[in-house]
Structure 1
Amino acid sequence: MNRTLLAAASSLLALSFTAAGAATAQTAASTPAAAPQSEAARQLHALFKQSDEDNLRRNPIGALFRGDMRYADRLGDYLTDEYFAAEKAAAEAELAALAGIDRAQLGETDRIAYDVFKFSRESDLEGFAPEIMALTVVRPINHFSGFHTFYPTFASGEGAAPFKTVEDYENNLKRHKEFVTLIDRAIGRFREGLASGVVETKLTTQNVIDQLDLQLAQKPEESPYYAPALAFPEDFSDADKARFSAAYLAAVRDEIYPAYARLRDFLKTDYLPRAREGVGLVHMKGGERLYDYLIEGTTTLPLKAGEVHELGLSEVARIKAGMEAIRQEVGFDGTLPEFFEHLRTDAQFKAASRDALRDGYYAIGKKVDARIGEQFSTIPESPLEIRAVEPFREKTAAGGSYQSGTPDGSRPGIFYYNAYDLPSRTTYGMETLYLHEGAPGHHFQISLAQENEALPAFMRFGGNTAYVEGWALYAETLGEELGLFTDPYQRFGHLDDEMLRAMRLVVDTGIHSKGWTRDQAIDYMLANSGMSRTDATAEVERYIAIPSQALAYKIGALTIQRLRAKAEAALGDRFDPREFHAQVLMTGSLPMAVLEKKIDDWIAAKKA
């Protein structure tokens, strides 16, 4: 499957695949609303509209995440040959139509949209090349990317799917049937991989088995799938409540759990013994070719594994020097590795309870809210909610994550923090985690894009990892301007998180290009940061599961930081961070080359 589908399968954006501003989204998008449209612009907008409509029909879950309920009774035909053929045909037809539009006749924002659409559809089309499909479609699930991890929350009443009407409850039951079919399709694709010799790792396969065992161990009445039957809307009749209670229990007991058991038993009995020992793509048939493709797609730049590895090593060295300076500042008498161990183990850096961890994030959010208008001229209308990761997925979930809200603000964006194995959760990185996953990181980037009705839908709701994660990592650098990082340990936490992203360049390429083992990668991360072993293990197993995704953070952030430095040098006293941030954010997610061209044009216009 292509990169778009890989992202959709894990989060269905998700990237995934998100109170005080004055400028409107349309103004920041830079094209006046009253400007007359050229024929080329009308053709372009018609293409975008038709492309979006067609895409929502093929990918109904994407529509539901946007609050569009037209296809809410469907999950989609994922993993079928017909689905892939339709996606490929759509990309080819839309690129042909785009080629017939005269770009020179377009306005500034429309030219950006043209370039982003072209890049996106060409990238999608690359993913449908037979040699790539043969390496991806037959590995439909791992512990980090799979419907089995996404769907429980989605269907629980706590995710994107609404549970307000009788029709909502009926639609959920219909989606359950497609989910069961999807699980069985995944088994079929895994069998194709066994036949072709393209298989997942033993590690990721065992993790999936463990995830399925964990869900199957819950009584049907305690399953997330049954949760909507415990929270009916007040206006439901007693008859509807009784009917849905019985139907939801039967769906869990007689449909979903048996499908989980079929997948688990197949993986344990047939697949695991034939899965590969080597965790990197370098050990998989065709893996080196796939990794090259994934790097370029993830970073939106023509980079190779070797140069990314070397960049990572240089960044690790730079950040380590900053860590040494803080170690000396706080007067710790010991080596940097000993300082790491001190931070990992000392009680002062542990949350006293899950509630204390939650309250700490609430306090950080209030500090950011008080200063955010100094850096941003437009604030998302969608509220941001702080919530703990659910118990059924917290063991293998990241330390923090973000789920986008709806464009109209009816469903908030959610910053998830992970409280699993609480003694391993250190507090000195909390400010940085909130800046990245919450505000002004993913929440601002995703919300401002999807709330901006001046943009075509693919720019409002789409995205590439280098931009999305690059922005979130860049947002971490704004801590001081937003009233954070007043404590040296929180500044160390910022460096520690920056170190994480730099180490990812080293470790991801080490695993998938140089043949590093899981333990070798974990040891490298522990030696160069204050991470706990629990966090380092989860990170490494994530890189194993989704190769190249972790490279995008640092590559994207370094690009945005370089563009800001260029703008500051060129504009001097005329540089305003609010204007710069509007230029970066208010036209949605851009490939790095398109973003650089936009910033260069803005600098030239400001200097004129």
Structure 2
Amino acid sequence: MNRTLLAAASSLLVPTLATPNALAMQTATAEATRSTASQQLHALFKKSDEDNLRRNPVSALFRGDMRYADQLGDYISDEYFAAEKAAAEAELAALAKIDRSQLSDTDKIAYDVFKFDKESELKGYQPDILALTVVRPINHFSGFHTFYPTFASSKGAAPFKTLEDYENNLKRHKEFVTIIDRSISRFREGMAAGVFDTKLTIQNVIDQLNLQLADKPEESPYYAPVLNFPESISEADQARLKAAYRATVTDDIYPAYTRLRDFLKNEYLPKAREGVGLVHMKGGEKLYDYLIEDTTTLPLKAAEVHQIGLDEVIRIKKEMEAIKEEVGFEGTLPEFFNHLRTDAKFKAESRDALRDGYYAIGKKVDARIAEQFSTIPESPLEIRAVEPFREKTAAGGSYQQGTPDGSRPGIFYYNAYDLPSRTTYGMETLYLHEGSPGHHFQISLAQENEALPAFMRFGGNTAFVEGWALYAETLGPALGMFTDPYQRFGHLDDEMLRAMRLVVDTGIHSKGWTRDQAIEYMLANSGMSRTDATAEVERYIAIPSQALAYKIGALTIQRLREKAEKALGDRFDAREFHAQVLMTGSLPMAVLEKKIDDWIASKEV
């Protein structure tokens, strides 16, 4: 071996002793690399969010960002979908250039969520999927005609504090009319392609439009803002705005509603499909497969989800039987269901009594909530009845998020329509789900956390959002709830609802169940009223797969809690676990599981 090779070989065997300066330089270089990766990541997040708000001005307005408040947005044009797809592709390409290994643990979670979200978006923008979705732009549960009246009424997200606010609302009305007319065009495209929505759904839309058109212009939610002006607006401007608001209702919005209604009634409804499930729609089976994965964030198939639901129904019925025996009811479980539906002691005496019951529940939860959560939302929670114009087809309860700064509260809506059908034994569970610590905690804590990138503060997936809310119901005993066996039964009844959804949604859309078949299944396995069961089934028909997210998400969170409790034993703290689940926003199920696994490992050291 010559001297050069010998020296080289020797250098491999003798360790190099780094000087303090060399170590410092290495450390500084590593930190600079990490800092650069983090800066690149957050710069991408910021640009993505800014671009998204420009394309989706309603999202900005819901946050209290008024920069685009004179716009409603375009949401169903070819140009809109092309822009959304191009943005997702560009952002994924930029993300791929960032070295994930150099990121902090929190930034790695953000990286993974962003990647998952954008890849999911692109699946929805594939031509074969878009061809099945954009041509059905409105149904009775999801459509601008259901969202916009409240939004523009001065009781929704749009503010009415200044003269500019009132002017902006008029400008948004013009874009709303464009969306309504463009919806007609989209429906026509579907007719030409042989892709139709259901007769049931379209008839419900027609009924909704008729209900709104029956209001005199001065009784319309669109006129409501000019019934109560702030003092800063002059009498002259008030008179001008009243005339303008009345004119936009009579000359723009009502004619647009009439055009849509007449088209749906005279042209579309006669050709709409009879079968209520996607299995009866051209391309429906492929669309349902996509929707299940998109909704649950897991690669599940309809048959698998259906079986999970059947198993859960069996488990819950056993627990219901135990409570039936505890309260001394002599009869079958279906007879007990009917007893709960019909006995006067389970009915609210009045709308005001129903409201006051929820107020009392809220105070009871507030007194114990700190025992389970280390961080409480700053945003207040308001309890409010569903508006008359939408209460007939609305769910029994719902939540509308507030603003991050708390200037607009979160709202828990309860439904008082057909009051005799609104049983009281499920009130505690409904409040826990829609209010605290359900949707209000999850959504508020995310958007109030300024350390998170905007897409994690304000974005989300249904499996996490609804899964958390269903999981929150299980915290009832820890919060002093369910001391009454009937309220415990109400909790099981609501859990049964979410289990039945797995069975019924997949039954309708993959097995060809009829509307009536689905309703009867729900009545046979729960204490639901026929009114509630009908509204639920028609919701599944209108928005396939959305209802699957609740139970799939909750089962995942419950399984992760059980894993943590088993691994940590006495060191398990529910407040810490809840912080791990909630304080990084809405996560896809796989990302959440990885986060909880890492947290458990860090506690076991």
Name the TM-score class by shorter chain.
over 0.9
Corresponding position of 1:402:
399
Paired with 1:80 and 1:561, the residues of 2 have a C-alpha distance of 41
Task: Report deviation, 1:171.
Answer: 0.1
Paired with 1:580 and 1:525, the residues of 2 have a C-alpha distance of 34
Task: Report deviation, 1:35.
Answer: 11
1:550 counterpart (524, 547, 550): 547
Paired with 1:295 and 1:86, the residues of 2 have a C-alpha distance of 25
Paired with 1:37 and 1:410, the residues of 2 have a C-alpha distance of 37
Structure 2 residue 74 is matched with structure 1 residue 77? yes
Corresponding position of 1:476:
473
1:296 counterpart (293, 299, 318): 293
Task: Report deviation, 1:228.
Answer: 0.3
Paired with 1:435 and 1:469, the residues of 2 have a C-alpha distance of 12
- Supply the AA of the counterpart residue of 1:592: M
Paired with 2:462 and 2:233, the residues of 1 have a C-alpha distance of 42
Q: Deviations over 1:475-507 (max 9, x none)?
A: 000000001000000000000000000000000
- Supply the AA of the counterpart residue of 2:313: V
| Secondary structure at 2:377 match in 1 | coil
Corresponding position of 1:258:
255
Corresponding position of 2:235:
238
Paired with 2:130 and 2:597, the residues of 1 have a C-alpha distance of 37
The 8 Å contact of residues 385 and 415 in structure 2, kept in 1 or not, is answered as yes
Paired with 1:191 and 1:203, the residues of 2 have a C-alpha distance of 18
Paired with 1:264 and 1:240, the residues of 2 have a C-alpha distance of 34
Paired with 2:123 and 2:94, the residues of 1 have a C-alpha distance of 18
Q: Deviations over 1:387-408 (max 9, x none)?
A: 0000000000000000000000
1:220 counterpart (204, 217, 222): 217
| Secondary structure at 1:386 match in 2 | strand
Task: Report deviation, 1:234.
Answer: 1.4
Corresponding position of 1:338:
335
Paired with 2:38 and 2:118, the residues of 1 have a C-alpha distance of 19
Task: Report deviation, 1:539.
Answer: 0.1
Corresponding position of 1:29:
none
**Residues 253-292 of structure 1 correspond to what in structure 2 (within 5 A)?**
253-292=250-289
The 8 Å contact of residues 153 and 221 in structure 2, kept in 1 or not, is answered as yes
- Supply the AA of the counterpart residue of 1:585: L
Corresponding position of 2:348:
351
Structure 2 residue 224 is matched with structure 1 residue 201? no
Corresponding position of 1:167:
164
- Supply the AA of the counterpart residue of 2:223: Y
State the 4+ residue runs in structure 1 displaced beyond 6 angstroms.
none
Corresponding position of 1:513:
510
**Residues 52-451 of structure 1 correspond to what in structure 2 (within 5 A)?**
52-451=49-448
Paired with 1:265 and 1:166, the residues of 2 have a C-alpha distance of 35
Task: Report deviation, 1:77.
Answer: 1.4
Paired with 1:344 and 1:142, the residues of 2 have a C-alpha distance of 29
| Secondary structure at 2:399 match in 1 | strand
- Supply the AA of the counterpart residue of 1:568: E
- Supply the AA of the counterpart residue of 1:340: F
| Secondary structure at 2:382 match in 1 | strand
Structure 2 residue 530 is matched with structure 1 residue 533? yes
Paired with 2:397 and 2:40, the residues of 1 have a C-alpha distance of 42
Paired with 1:333 and 1:581, the residues of 2 have a C-alpha distance of 41
- Supply the AA of the counterpart residue of 2:69: A
- Supply the AA of the counterpart residue of 1:472: A
- Supply the AA of the counterpart residue of 1:259: A
The 8 Å contact of residues 34 and 102 in structure 2, kept in 1 or not, is answered as no
Matched residue count: 575
Task: Report deviation, 1:78.
Answer: 1.4
Paired with 1:300 and 1:176, the residues of 2 have a C-alpha distance of 35
Q: CA RMSD of the aligned region, Å?
A: 0.9
Task: Report deviation, 1:36.
Answer: 10
5+ residue gaps, structure 2: 1-30
- Supply the AA of the counterpart residue of 1:63: A
Paired with 2:365 and 2:459, the residues of 1 have a C-alpha distance of 27
Paired with 1:351 and 1:78, the residues of 2 have a C-alpha distance of 41
| Secondary structure at 2:388 match in 1 | coil
Paired with 1:604 and 1:240, the residues of 2 have a C-alpha distance of 64
The structure with higher relative contact order (CA 8 Å, sep 6+) is 1
**Residues 2-41 of structure 1 correspond to what in structure 2 (within 5 A)?**
38-41=35-38
- Supply the AA of the counterpart residue of 2:350: S
Paired with 1:289 and 1:258, the residues of 2 have a C-alpha distance of 37
Paired with 1:538 and 1:389, the residues of 2 have a C-alpha distance of 15
Q: Deviations over 1:98-130 (max 9, x none)?
A: 000000000010000000000000000000101
Paired with 2:527 and 2:74, the residues of 1 have a C-alpha distance of 44
| Secondary structure at 1:495 match in 2 | helix
Paired with 1:105 and 1:190, the residues of 2 have a C-alpha distance of 49
- Supply the AA of the counterpart residue of 1:408: D
Q: Deviations over 1:432-491 (max 9, x none)?
A: 000000000000000000000000000000000000000000000000000100000000
Corresponding position of 1:17:
none
Paired with 2:258 and 2:72, the residues of 1 have a C-alpha distance of 21
Q: Deviations over 1:160-187 (max 9, x none)?
A: 0000000000000000000001000000
Corresponding position of 1:23:
none
- Supply the AA of the counterpart residue of 2:259: R
Task: Report deviation, 1:37.
Answer: 5.6
Q: Deviations over 1:270-326 (max 9, x none)?
A: 000000000000000000000000000100000000010011000000000000000
Task: Report deviation, 1:235.
Answer: 1.9
Paired with 1:88 and 1:287, the residues of 2 have a C-alpha distance of 22
Corresponding position of 1:602:
599
TM-score, normalisation: structure 1: 0.94
Structure 2 residue 486 is matched with structure 1 residue 496? no
Paired with 1:374 and 1:200, the residues of 2 have a C-alpha distance of 48
Task: Report deviation, 1:573.
Answer: 0.5
Q: Deviations over 1:518-557 (max 9, x none)?
A: 0000000000000000000000000000000000000000
| Secondary structure at 2:398 match in 1 | strand
Paired with 1:466 and 1:124, the residues of 2 have a C-alpha distance of 15
- Supply the AA of the counterpart residue of 2:424: T
Corresponding position of 2:6:
none
- Supply the AA of the counterpart residue of 1:173: L
